[in-house]
Amino acid sequence: MKARTTPRDCIAILAALLALLAVISLIALTAGSERIHLATILKIFLGAGEASTEQRVILLDLRLPRIILAIVAGGGLAVAGAAYQALLRNPLAEPYVLGVSTGAAVGALLAFIFAESIPASRPLMSFVGAMVTILLVYRIGEVRSEAASNKLLLAGVIVNSFFSATIIFLTTLASASQLRGVTFWLLGDLTRGGEGMLWIVSLLVLGAVAVIYTNARSLNLMMVGERDAMALGVEVKRVKFIVFALSSLITGAVVAVSGSIGYVGLVVPHIIRLAFGSDHRLLIPAAMVGGATLLVLADTVARTVLAPQELPVGAITAIIGAPVFLHLLRRMHY
| Cα atoms in the Cβ-side hemisphere of radius 13 Å centred on 326 | 6
Averaged pLDDT, 8-29: 94
Task: Give per-residue pLDDT as tens, 218-243.
Answer: 999 998 888 888 998 999 989 998 99
Task: Find the mean pLDDT for residues 79-103.
Answer: 89
Q: Return the pLDDT at 11.
A: 92
For the cut 70, the answer to whether the pLDDT of residue 166 exceeds it is yes
Decide: helix, strand or coil at residue 45: helix
What is the structure's pLDDT at 149?
A: 64
Residue 242 has a CB neighbour count (10 Å cut-off) of: 18
Q: Say yes or no to pLDDT of 288 above 70.
A: yes
Maximum average pLDDT range among 105-114, 209-218, 273-282: 209-218
Q: What pLDDT score does 310 carry?
A: 87
Reported residue count of the chain is 334
**pLDDT value for 14:** 95
- Between 82 and 60, the higher pLDDT residue: 82
Q: Tell me the CATH architecture of domain 7-331.
A: Orthogonal Bundle (1.10)
- Model confidence pLDDT, tens digit, residues 26-76: 999 998 888 888 888 888 888 776 777 788 888 888 899 999 999 999 999
Q: What does pLDDT average to over the chain? A: 87
Overall pTM > 0.75: yes
Residue 330 pLDDT level (bands cut at 50, 70, 90): confident
pLDDT, greater one: 210 or 334: 210
Q: How confident is the model at residue 308 (pLDDT cuts 50, 70, 90)?
A: confident
Query: 310: helix, coil or strand?
Result: coil
Long-range contacts of 122-126 (CB under 8 A, 24+ apart): 122/197, 122/256, 122/257, 123/197, 123/200, 123/201, 123/204, 123/252, 123/253, 123/256, 123/257, 125/256, 126/252, 126/253, 126/255, 126/256
Average pLDDT for residues 260-289, to the nearest whole number? Answer: 93
At CA 259, angle to CA 254 and CA 262, rounded to 5?
Answer: 85
In angstroms, rounded to a whole number, what is the distance separating the alpha carbons of residues 116 and 95? 25
Residue 334 has pLDDT above 70, yes or no: no
pLDDT at 214: 96
Question: Taking 50 as the threshold, does the pLDDT of residue 146 lie above it?
Answer: no
